[in-house]
Structure 1
Amino acid sequence: METLEGMRLLLKVVECGSLSAAGRASGQSPASVSRKIAQLEDEIGAKLFNRTSRSLSLTHIGEVYYEHVARIVGEIDNLNIAISEQQSVPRGTLNVRTQASIATRFLADALPSFLERYPDIVLQLSLGEFAPDLDNNRIDVDVRVGMPDNPDLMIRKLSPGVERILYASPEYLAKHRKLSGPQDLLNHNCLSLQIASAEEQSCWFYRTPAGIKELRVSGNLIVNDAAILHEAVISGIGIGLLPAWMAADDLATGRAVRILPNVEMTQTVFDFGLYAVFRKSDLILPKVRVFVDFLVETLRRKDAEISRIAMKARRQSAETDRRAPDALRWIHPKGIGSR
């Protein structure tokens, strides 16, 4: 326990910048802090700080020791919290991230019942198009399209999802040349989601018998919000590539027309499933467990809606003389069911 206390005091000294400031923050005298740091140095057999009358800085060994101590103490604190919360009802702040289109279409109407069921949880929902690092952004659960290739993450599949589609407004298609294949997109105004600010051109990918090909498309709108991009497409500005649920209603009413339905295309990954992603741990916090279970339950109820969206995308095509692909190939024949 004395070693752990010394480690915590080391972190406090580095955080505060001086022994006296660390003493005030921890309710101890500077002399007491100095003595305990000296005891820690004696215990590990190395000098951790360079001390002068005017400055205090970590030695090289101190920097290495500090990095490891910060991680160890953090893990101990997280373990204590996890064990404590395992013995209680789900509670605390739950940080969730997903795309705005997913939240609007599949989660918004169900969230009130979740909060009513678990009144001790404070749900902090952030919206963004692209999945961030969970640790660096303090995210408990990320609801995303496509399975991440990361062995350090826990993953639960929520739905097979619906494919991304190319579409445009009838007005745009009437004013521009007809598309017969993916390469024709290079001569069109392709509106894209922003992936990296440094990219001058957006890269779209499509499948061929010879493998996956890429297109460096261009257009006069690159935006990090799918809803804005969709509205721009419907307004007749250009061609969009978005999940079918974004365009399903407009396809049904004729405000949008599907393009190249036999071409499987994406701007990110070809896995169109919906997944709940959270950090790997032997002790999954109750607030995380119940929210993931809620997501599974919610998406199971949305199975019929997802199937209808796929059917709407299938029925609409800019190429009426060619058979559209089976948009239901992404829907499991037995429904979402249990995972």
Structure 2
Amino acid sequence: MDRFEAIRLFTRIVELGSFSRAAEQLGITRAGATQAIQQLEARLGVRLLARTTRQVTPTLDGSDYYQRCSAILADLDEAEAAFSQAGRSPRGRLRVDLPGSLCRLVLMPALPDFCRRYPEIRIEFSISDRQIDPLREGVDCVLRIGALDEDLPLVARRLAVLPLVTCASRTYLERHGRPQGLAELQGHHAVDNLSATTGKAFAFEFMCADQVERLNLPASVAVNDGGGYVAACCAGLGLIQVPLFHVAHQLASGELEEILPAHRPPAMPLHLLYPPNRQATARLRAFIDWAGALFARAPERLAG
């Protein structure tokens, strides 16, 4: 294995925290990866990685070496891409992590356009609502709704600001009444929406004269999945608060009704995020530009 291949292997091991996963991604054996890192450490005269039975982490020297190597590899990848992609359509695998509702209701209906424009890109979606580290998860970028985790150093591009609504099923409202103000929420029930990160239920939020008022309503059902959250509401189990695009169809059909429209929850940002220490590949740049244009020109997909 030559020097650049060994450096690339080393950076992938640091990013994934695993010899086996890095070796698999680069198409080499676990034993070959171990030997290459041993040779790299012997050439440098320092220990780069600390190994335990559960994980692999860089030493202090390894962390410094990783930062320098990442910058070098990013420059090399950018230089190669500038020439190899000249006059050609972007190609290769693109891995995107995003919430299921956003994938199903917004991205998938528009995706044929992306595939027609970039037929040589294979796009792979992974579905999750939790904050992830793209480097460790092996994805190129993530789409996230809501506040960002400031401890996760990523490049963030805001794609849209999503309006939220409070709604309930028609059958629920016929049984419990339609509240006309926040005071009339007494006696109503919610479906609890559990955070994928903390496992705790989100409080309801309402805008009142430029102030956010938070309420916790009693709930007999709790869900940590967006689709299940809306399904529970449609079944008449309580009130929910969701991005408007998620329930636009149900609102249009009358299955769900928005309540307290004068006190909508604060809108939530939608961001596309990717690691800062990698140059965006041509296929990632193509997706970023396409997604930005999609959300800029299609507010009806987001605002009902």
TM-score by length of 1: 0.65
In structure 2, C-alpha distance between the alignment counterparts of 1:88 and 1:123, rounded to whole Å: 20
> 3-state SS of the aligned residue for 2:137?
coil
Question: Which residue number in structure 2 is paired with residue 296 of structure 1?
Answer: 292
> 3-state SS of the aligned residue for 1:246?
helix
Match of 1:63 among 53, 59, 62: 59
Question: Which residue number in structure 2 is paired with residue 326 of structure 1?
Answer: none
> 3-state SS of the aligned residue for 2:204?
strand
Question: Which residue number in structure 2 is paired with residue 243 of structure 1?
Answer: 243
Q: Please, which moves more after superposition, 146-155 or 278-287? A: 146-155
> 3-state SS of the aligned residue for 2:59?
helix
Matched, 1:256 2:256: yes
Q: 1:10 to 1:289 in 2, by over 3 A?
A: closer
In structure 1, C-alpha distance between the alignment counterparts of 2:278 and 2:198, rounded to whole Å: 39
Structure 1 position 99, deviation (Å) = 2.0
Count how many residue pairs are aligned between Structure 1 and Structure 2. 275
Match of 1:40 among 26, 29, 44: 44
Q: Is the 8 A contact 2:130 2:197 kept in 1?
A: no
* Partner amino acid, structure 1, of 2:63: E
Q: 1:72 to 1:214 in 2, by over 3 A?
A: same
Matched, 1:80 2:76: yes
Q: 1:4 to 1:297 in 2, by over 3 A?
A: closer
Structure 1 position 244, deviation (Å) = 1.5
Q: Is the 8 A contact 1:128 1:225 kept in 2?
A: no
Q: 1:215 to 1:302 in 2, by over 3 A?
A: same
In structure 1, C-alpha distance between the alignment counterparts of 2:119 and 2:256, rounded to whole Å: 42
In structure 2, C-alpha distance between the alignment counterparts of 1:3 and 1:228, rounded to whole Å: 50
Q: Percent identity?
A: 22
Q: 1:244 to 1:171 in 2, by over 3 A?
A: same
In structure 2, C-alpha distance between the alignment counterparts of 1:200 and 1:154, rounded to whole Å: 27
In structure 1, C-alpha distance between the alignment counterparts of 2:274 and 2:59, rounded to whole Å: 30
* Partner amino acid, structure 2, of 1:188: H
Question: Which residue number in structure 2 is paired with residue 217 of structure 1?
Answer: 217
Matches within 5 A, 1:1-339: 25=32, 40-41=44-45, 48=47, 63-89=59-85, 90-146=90-146, 148=148, 150=150, 152-161=153-162, 163-182=163-182, 184-185=184-185, 187-196=187-196, 199=199, 201-209=201-209, 211-265=211-265, 270-280=266-276, 283-306=279-302, 309=304
* Partner amino acid, structure 1, of 2:253: T
Structure 1 position 190, deviation (Å) = 0.8
* Partner amino acid, structure 2, of 1:128: S
Structure 1 position 299, deviation (Å) = 2.8
RMSD: 4.0
Question: Which residue number in structure 2 is paired with residue 58 of structure 1?
Answer: none
In structure 1, C-alpha distance between the alignment counterparts of 2:302 and 2:166, rounded to whole Å: 18
Structure 1 position 135, deviation (Å) = 3.4
Question: Which residue number in structure 2 is paired with residue 53 of structure 1?
Answer: none
* Partner amino acid, structure 1, of 2:285: R
Q: 1:78 to 1:177 in 2, by over 3 A?
A: same
Question: Which residue number in structure 1 is paired with residue 55 of structure 2?
Answer: none
In structure 1, C-alpha distance between the alignment counterparts of 2:77 and 2:288, rounded to whole Å: 19
In structure 2, C-alpha distance between the alignment counterparts of 1:92 and 1:111, rounded to whole Å: 16
Structure 1 position 180, deviation (Å) = 4.1
Q: Is the 8 A contact 2:161 2:268 kept in 1?
A: yes
Q: 1:147 to 1:26 in 2, by over 3 A?
A: closer
* Partner amino acid, structure 2, of 1:187: G
* Partner amino acid, structure 1, of 2:76: N
TM-score by length of 2: 0.72
Q: 1:136 to 1:216 in 2, by over 3 A?
A: farther
Structure 1 position 167, deviation (Å) = 0.9
> 3-state SS of the aligned residue for 2:289?
helix
Q: Is the 8 A contact 1:189 1:239 kept in 2?
A: yes
Question: Which residue number in structure 2 is paired with residue 337 of structure 1?
Answer: none
In structure 2, C-alpha distance between the alignment counterparts of 1:274 and 1:222, rounded to whole Å: 24
Q: Please, which moves more after superposition, 72-81 or 256-265? A: 72-81
Structure 1 position 214, deviation (Å) = 1.9
Q: Please, which moves more after superposition, 229-238 or 294-303? A: 294-303
Structure 1 position 158, deviation (Å) = 3.1
Structure 1 position 229, deviation (Å) = 1.4
